[in-house]
A and B are shown apart, each in its own frame.
Chain A
Amino acid sequence: MSYQVPKFRHPELPVNELGYTRADYEGAISTLCAGCGHDSISGSIVRACHELSIEPHKIAKLSGIGCSSKAPTYFLGKSHGFNSVHGRMPSVATGAAMANRDLLYLGVSGDGDTASIGMGQFTHAIRRNLNMVYIVMNNGCYGLTKGQDSATADEGSASKKGDPNPFGAIDLPGLALQLGATFVARSFSGDKGQLVPLIKAGMTHRGFALIDVVSPCVTFNNNDASTKSYEFVREHAEATGTVDFVPMREEITTSYEPGHSQEVTMHDGSVLHLHKLAEDLDPFDRASAMLALERHRAAGSILTGLIYMDKDSRDLHEVLDTSRRPLNGLGEEDLCPGNKVLQNINHSLR
């Protein structure tokens, strides 16, 4: 593609606390198909990062292989990115996060990259509670190889090729809950109102935040018989409630009706406001979240929104008790014990 993103910006574009406009969080122009759900998710990421006033260069974006994993080129152009190998983004992210705990790690993966080839690494990143946001751009098919069913395709769902999928779907939020994930959400690429606050909450959460985003593939899996089409998802999505994210230092101005409403203060002081909560879900109780997921699955609806969050989550750095200073900032004086110590070691080996 030879397209360039135009550099001209309207002088009155809104700026965030850091003085950045939303354009400062954009990337190269997308080469994905027109109408691809992934581009909407990229837009939501841009908006979330802008509104959170994160310095763009303090984010590292990582991906595996596939349409989803190309997407990081199309947002956060001032952030370093790493397009790794198929299904192995979690391990690269783990190493990166160990090296520098001060960056924000944003992983972008697809359903093939996560639920098939990368299943092992995905589960272990959850188990370690790596401090990262892990977005699955979930379209139920392999786009780059022209539309094969993926492991998240529902049983009986048929892509453009027409054959109904004979296998059951792997439900990523359900799996993540079972593995002990500390933040589990699901959303829909077409619902930015829901997705943007979820991304913000995930970015503020300390630990592994899974956001499974159903993201229709317009070319291979947006037909009538598909359960990952725009139309099907719009008709079958049922939100757990509405999530509002209020960053630290910002006053809470919205007033909520009494009833199913909760406030959660995140570790950095920002507040997550959950309202219109579904009656059958307590998002701070893992068992309740698992039950709700299963109930919706049985009823043929797609549960979206914040499904579960552990407010007391401890991330991998806390578990390992690593230095507060990023490991990549340590030098000889911190790391090398020197010759005198070595001579004592020699002595013990005689």
Chain B
Amino acid sequence: MKSLEAVNEFVIKFANVNGTGSASANNLFAKALFRMGLPVSPKNIFPSNIQGLPTWYEVRVSEKGYLGRRGGVDIMLSVNPQSMPQDIKEVEPGGYFIYDNTKPLDLRLIRNDVNIIGLPLTRICNEQYKDPRQRQLFKNVIYVGALAALLDMDFAVITELVGDQFKGKEKLVLPNIHALELGHQYVKANLECPIGIRVRKSDQVGDKILLDGNTALGLGAIYGGATVAAWYPITPSTSVVDAYERYAKRLRIDPGTGKKNYAILQAEDELAAMGMVIGASWNGARAFTATSGPGLSLMSEFLGLAYFAEIPTVLYDVQRAGPSTGMPTRTQQSDVLSAAYASHGDTKQVLLFPATPRECFDFGALSFDLAERLQTPIILMTDLDLGMNDNMSEPLEWDDERKYDRGKVLGAEDLDKLERFGRYLDVDGDGICYRTYPGTHPDKGAFFTRGTSRDEYAIYTERGEEYEKNMHRLMAKWETIKQHVPAPETVRCEQATDAAVLYYGTSEESSREALDYLAEEGIHLNAMRVRAFPFSDEVEAFLHEHERVFVIEQNRDAQLRTLLMAEFELGPDKLKSVLCFDGTPISARNIRKQILMQMPGHNVTPLRRERIVGGTGQGENRA
């Protein structure tokens, strides 16, 4: 057997039991590699459960800087007998399967093409600790210590990190370091180490940070001036408001009075959360909510009101696998269509697609400027993968000269100068009208905000031509919006090509890696990352420029492709789909395979069914 050999380029996966404290130990491992100067991309693959079900933690380590999922597992660290049969199958030939050998491995599971390494974790714990909870918790720390020896990690970095992580709880530091040493010493004394896969210090991290997208969004809302957060708890969006609250408690207390310059309302449901955001925004505060698919469905009626009555609204949608309850703790990009056309009647909603924590922060804050400038809902479409996993990211920056763009708002003096205020009068010809906040002027500017049709002066009307005129103006505004939303990013290959890929959000990193694989095989593709809906003219030009465009996304129905086809009236022969919807983040190997199968000259004509199977994680593990 030829063992896998690699330095600073590998995938390791931890198979744990939910609720046993494994996440923090696994996080310690990933962060230690990050501190050694290595780009890491940890992904928590967890069940909708508090305790007992299998959970996995996959860490991509790549000195080359690939941060997406690669596909395949080089090292499996398995401490969950429940999932062991599946876990050992996932290991690449020549890879490493590390397990707790306190109990012997089931002979039926043994693979001859995999290095099997036993660590007596339970035995060590039972000898060292009496308390059952300690036995459970320290088992995780012990295997991190063992890995440090097996992979030749810098042990000092890990111990220093433990010190940082338990700042304020110093008495926990020594026991954790002791546990690390137990694992480390066992390996040094009993096993051959390091193994073929190992790490060494690098300098590929620079000033980057390790941050989850939801925390970045919470910070974006703080910096963007949000004062009202209304929400209903739902995985995977909950940590957005948690982060907002955590930072607000630190950064938003009025220094003079000690009172809060913010209000957080845990609503009775998502309908109410959206109603509160609309009420607060109507009244001149910056407000937001965060939700996921089921919440988006419930908010639809209100989103139609905000679209039609033109009320600034900010919604962060952290997408998860649907439909219905779907897989609540797994990732997807499957709310695209329901968000883009949210609500009954003719509606079009503005979507933003961040791809990194830095973009979550930037777009999160930008959402408020856009919502108030454009007087319409801004739906920021992130997902569980970006939101709940630590992602290596550019550091956050804020320009202290920046002023909030509060949009077209008339004050008392402006109203005094007006003959007659028309809330829905298109004075500037850009489709965006002037608004006032309630309470601004004693005699002028008051009107009745409503979801019913009305004329330019906000007076109720059922006259068809007035209604049509307003609907046309909303389309004119849609054109204006294109100039305000983040522009797409294009990456052109050096060779001339008539084929391209188009992706958005968390598919970026894996797509980038897949394009590198394909380039090595002589297939060169241009790339565009779409960052907003409505699509700009640049997107249309890019599509027309290429014969064939692969739209890479993480849902079954090729939702962004559908949106592109609908908006640009394109046919299916131009736009091809590359899809992953098994609830895990799309991998580079998977993308490569799906593109290859659809390239002209590929000698196997794929059946549609096969292609979909190819899009699943099961297929991809053997890719």
B209 nearest CB across to chain A (Å): 4
Further pairs besides A320-B260, A342-B396: 5, Cβ < 8 Å? A78-B446, A85-B302, A103-B438, A324-B259, A337-B222
The reply on A328 being an interface residue by CB < 8 A is: yes
What residues on A are CB-neighbors of B282 within 8 Å? 82, 92, 95-96, 99
B209 touches A349 (CB 8 A): yes
Q: A92-B276, A103-B439 are in contact. Are A82 and B449 (CB under 8 A)?
A: yes
A95 touches B261 (CB 8 A): no
For residues 241 through 264 of chain B, which have their beta carbon under 8 Å from a beta carbon of chain A?
251-252, 254, 257, 259-264
* Interface residue ranges, A against B (CB under 8 Å): 55-58, 60, 62, 72-73, 77-85, 88, 90-100, 102-103, 120-121, 123-124, 128, 317, 320-324, 327-328, 330-332, 334-339, 341-343, 345-346, 349-350
Q: A91-B275, A328-B437 are in contact. Are A83 and B446 (CB under 8 A)?
A: no
Residue of B nearest to A83 (CB): B450
Can you name 14 A-B pairs with beta carbons within 8 Å? A72-B448, A81-B447, A84-B279, A88-B302, A102-B439, A323-B259, A324-B259, A327-B285, A328-B227, A330-B261, A331-B225, A335-B225, A336-B225, A337-B251
What residues on A are CB-neighbors of B273 within 8 Å? 91
B208, B262, B399, most chain A CB atoms within 10 A: B262
A57 touches B227 (CB 8 A): no
What residues on B are CB-neighbors of A321 within 8 Å? 259-260
Residue of B nearest to A335 (CB): B225
Residue of B nearest to A339 (CB): B398
Q: A77-B446, A120-B272 are in contact. Are A85 and B283 (CB under 8 A)?
A: no
B269 touches A120 (CB 8 A): yes
A327 touches B265 (CB 8 A): no
The reply on B595 being an interface residue by CB < 8 A is: no
- State A80–B444 Cα separation when bound (angstroms): 10
Q: Give 1 or 0 for each of B18-38: 1 = CB within 8 Å of chain A CB.
A: 000000000000000011000
A95 touches B287 (CB 8 A): yes
The reply on B355 being an interface residue by CB < 8 A is: no
Residue of B nearest to A87 (CB): B271
A73, A82, A88, A320, most chain B CB atoms within 10 A: A82
What band does the interface of chain B fall in when counting residues whose beta carbon is under 8 Å from A?
35 or more
B261 touches A323 (CB 8 A): yes
B438 touches A60 (CB 8 A): yes
The reply on B219 being an interface residue by CB < 8 A is: yes
B260 nearest CB across to chain A (Å): 5
- State A100–B228 Cα separation when bound (angstroms): 11
List the 9 shortest-distance A-B pairs measured between CB atoms, nearest first.
A91-B275, A95-B279, A99-B285, A80-B438, A95-B280, A95-B276, A328-B284, A92-B279, A99-B283
Partner of A337, one of B223, B277, B279, B397: B223
A95 touches B228 (CB 8 A): yes
A349 touches B279 (CB 8 A): no
What residues on A are CB-neighbors of B211 within 8 Å? 349
- State A98–B436 Cα separation when bound (angstroms): 17
A91 touches B267 (CB 8 A): yes
For residues 167 through 221 of chain B, which have their beta carbon under 8 Å from a beta carbon of chain A?
207-211, 219
- State A77–B446 Cα separation when bound (angstroms): 7
Partner of B228, one of A60, A103, A324, A327: A327
A85 touches B301 (CB 8 A): yes
- State A159–B209 Cα separation when bound (angstroms): 68
What residues on B are CB-neighbors of A334 within 8 Å? 254, 261
B167 nearest CB across to chain A (Å): 10
Partner of A121, one of B35, B264, B268, B449: B268
What residues on B are CB-neighbors of A83 within 8 Å? 448-452
B310 nearest CB across to chain A (Å): 13
What residues on A are CB-neighbors of B279 within 8 Å? 62, 82, 84, 91-99
Residue of A nearest to B442 (CB): A57
The reply on B417 being an interface residue by CB < 8 A is: no
* Interface residue ranges, B against A (CB under 8 Å): 34-35, 207-211, 219, 222-223, 225, 227-228, 230, 251-252, 254, 257, 259-265, 267-269, 271-285, 287, 301-302, 305, 395-400, 402-404, 436-443, 445-452, 460
Partner of A99, one of B208, B223, B280: B280
What residues on B are CB-neighbors of A81 within 8 Å? 446-449
What residues on A are CB-neighbors of B450 within 8 Å? 82-83
What residues on A are CB-neighbors of B396 within 8 Å? 342, 345-346
Q: A82-B449, A335-B252, A337-B223 are in contact. Are A124 and B268 (CB under 8 A)?
A: yes
A98 touches B228 (CB 8 A): yes
Q: A83-B452, A84-B275 are in contact. Are A346 and B209 (CB under 8 A)?
A: yes
B521 nearest CB across to chain A (Å): 37
B275, B281, B282, B447, most chain A CB atoms within 10 A: B275
- State A80–B257 Cα separation when bound (angstroms): 31
B276 touches A91 (CB 8 A): yes
What residues on B are CB-neighbors of A128 within 8 Å? 265
B241 nearest CB across to chain A (Å): 14
B344 nearest CB across to chain A (Å): 11
What residues on B are CB-neighbors of A96 within 8 Å? 279-280, 282-283, 438
What residues on B are CB-neighbors of A55 within 8 Å? 442
A342 touches B438 (CB 8 A): no
Q: A78-B442, A320-B263 are in contact. Are A332 and B399 (CB under 8 A)?
A: no
Residue of B nearest to A123 (CB): B268
B162 nearest CB across to chain A (Å): 16
- State A350–B211 Cα separation when bound (angstroms): 9
A332 touches B275 (CB 8 A): no
What residues on B are CB-neighbors of A94 within 8 Å? 230, 265, 272, 275-276, 279
Residue of A nearest to B227 (CB): A327
A5 nearest CB across to chain B (Å): 13
Q: A57-B440, A85-B301, A99-B228 are in contact. Are A339 and B262 (CB under 8 A)?
A: no
What residues on B are CB-neighbors of A82 within 8 Å? 279, 282, 448-450
B440 touches A336 (CB 8 A): no
B275 touches A88 (CB 8 A): yes
A322 touches B269 (CB 8 A): no
- State A127–B437 Cα separation when bound (angstroms): 27
Residue of A nearest to B443 (CB): A78
B448 touches A100 (CB 8 A): no
A43 nearest CB across to chain B (Å): 19
What residues on B are CB-neighbors of A335 within 8 Å? 222, 225, 227, 252, 261
B441 nearest CB across to chain A (Å): 6
B372 nearest CB across to chain A (Å): 12
Residue of A nearest to B34 (CB): A350
B438 touches A95 (CB 8 A): no
B429 nearest CB across to chain A (Å): 26
Q: A78-B442, A335-B252 are in contact. Are A342 and B278 (CB under 8 A)?
A: no
Residue of B nearest to A341 (CB): B251
- State A330–B368 Cα separation when bound (angstroms): 14
What residues on B are CB-neighbors of A324 within 8 Å? 257, 259
A58, A327, A346, most chain B CB atoms within 10 A: A327
What residues on A are CB-neighbors of B262 within 8 Å? 322, 327
A235 nearest CB across to chain B (Å): 37
- State A57–B222 Cα separation when bound (angstroms): 30
A322 touches B263 (CB 8 A): yes
What residues on A are CB-neighbors of B280 within 8 Å? 95-96, 98-99, 327-328
- State A99–B225 Cα separation when bound (angstroms): 13
B335 nearest CB across to chain A (Å): 21
What residues on B are CB-neighbors of A98 within 8 Å? 227-228, 263, 265, 276, 279-280, 285, 287
What residues on A are CB-neighbors of B259 within 8 Å? 321-324
B333 nearest CB across to chain A (Å): 25
- State A317–B262 Cα separation when bound (angstroms): 10
- State A60–B260 Cα separation when bound (angstroms): 24
What residues on B are CB-neighbors of A97 within 8 Å? 279
A100 touches B284 (CB 8 A): yes
- State A24–B278 Cα separation when bound (angstroms): 28
